[in-house]
Amino acid sequence: MESEVNAFLSKIEADTAFSESTQLAYANDMRVFLHYLDTLEGQSPTLDDLNSELVVNFLETECKLGRRRNTLVRRLATLTYFQEFLVTSSTLGSNQFSGNDQIIQQVISRMPENRSPQCLNEGQVKTILAVFESSTRPRALRDRAIFMLLLETGLSVASLTALDMTDIDLASNRIHVHLEWVGDIWLGMNKAHGPLGDYIASGRPNLLDKPGEPALFISQMDGRLSRQGVWQILQYWGSQAEPAIHLSPRIVRHSAALRMNKAGMSSRDIQKRLGHRNILSTQALIRRLEANC
């Protein structure tokens, strides 16, 4: 099944309708499901394992692990979309979930409803920054710069990981980025300037083993940091806060959008930063954030 999962995730990654955070969520859901099958069967899973009874058992196991309802709903949506991909590509003959659809919904309905946080408040931002500053590890300088750059610019993870050293102009406090639907522009870094300067001066040299590497953000394995790496970085530092703070690229971008709106930036400019195709999507997001954050 692993080759089919890889083909499915490649299709998701190539589809511009899916945001980076959605792509990473799908990838994580599929890895969790494959790990469950590996543990259950003790061998590499096959497509024969993809049936409604097994999905019920998988969701039951996730319930016992304390997953919230939103997580279970997303897990099921990912598996359903994977199944549709298999049917469309003629790899699978029919819907293998429909037999126990009612039971699947009963499993999910037993979990209490939860509202995922949509953005960070100022207190949470200060808490996260304090966690970064309490660490002396080189990666903390890198990760603080990533967090602040996302928070100040609203960039997508794809745009952030694509940054090269030549895209940074500390003297003028600007970064050069390529934005979807906009093209190449320079953006102000605002309060990300200090953290980014600290990372370039002290953090990046300690992470870099490969001379001539153009990437701005370096992974601990050397080379350009991946989008999945950014996702994991944010989750890690959020978990180090006391109390823990749910941190993801989506939440940081939502926080950036709300901050930019409060600072008086136009909806059109925020739309460009976020990469939305339609300004109505941007305006609806801001209204929702204003009501719930």
pLDDT at res. 120: 93
pLDDT in tens, 176-226: 998 776 788 899 999 999 999 999 999 999 988 888 899 999 998 778 999
Residue 141 and residue 283 in one domain: yes
Residue 71 and residue 142 in one domain: no
Residue 97 and residue 182 in one domain: no
CATH number at residue 74: 1.10.150
Residue 19 and residue 127 in one domain: no
pTM above 0.95, yes or no: no
pLDDT in tens, 13-37: 887 666 677 788 888 888 888 888 8
pLDDT at res. 266: 94
Q: Which residues are CB-neighbours of 186 under 8 A, at least 6 positions away? A: 169, 174, 175, 176, 177
Helix (H) or strand (E) holding 237: helix 227-240
CB-based burial label for 123 (10 Å; 0-12, 13-18, 19+): exposed
Distance of CA 17 to CAs 21, 84, 158, 291, Å? Answer: 12, 17, 14, 26
Q: How far is CA 11 from the centre of its chain?
A: 17
Domain boundary, last residue among 78, 109, 140: 109
Question: Are the C-beta atoms of 79 and 29 separated by less than 8 Å?
Answer: yes
Question: Are the C-beta atoms of 157 and 230 separated by less than 8 Å?
Answer: yes
Question: Are the C-beta atoms of 118 and 127 separated by less than 8 Å?
Answer: no
pLDDT at res. 42: 67
Q: How far is CA 290 from the centre of its chain?
A: 22
pLDDT at res. 276: 82
Number of domains in the chain: 2
pLDDT at res. 214: 95
pLDDT at res. 43: 66
Please indicate, yes or no, if residue 115 is contained in any of the structural domains: no
Amino acid at 126: K
Please indicate, yes or no, if residue 116 is contained in any of the structural domains: no
Residue 44 and residue 132 in one domain: no
Find the domain containing 96 and state its range. Answer: 2-109
Residue 208 and residue 272 in one domain: yes
Question: Are the C-beta atoms of 258 and 119 separated by less than 8 Å?
Answer: yes
CB-based burial label for 90 (10 Å; 0-12, 13-18, 19+): exposed
Query: What are the residue ranges in the chain where pLDDT is below 50?
Result: 114
pLDDT at res. 102: 65
CATH number at residue 162: 1.10.443.10
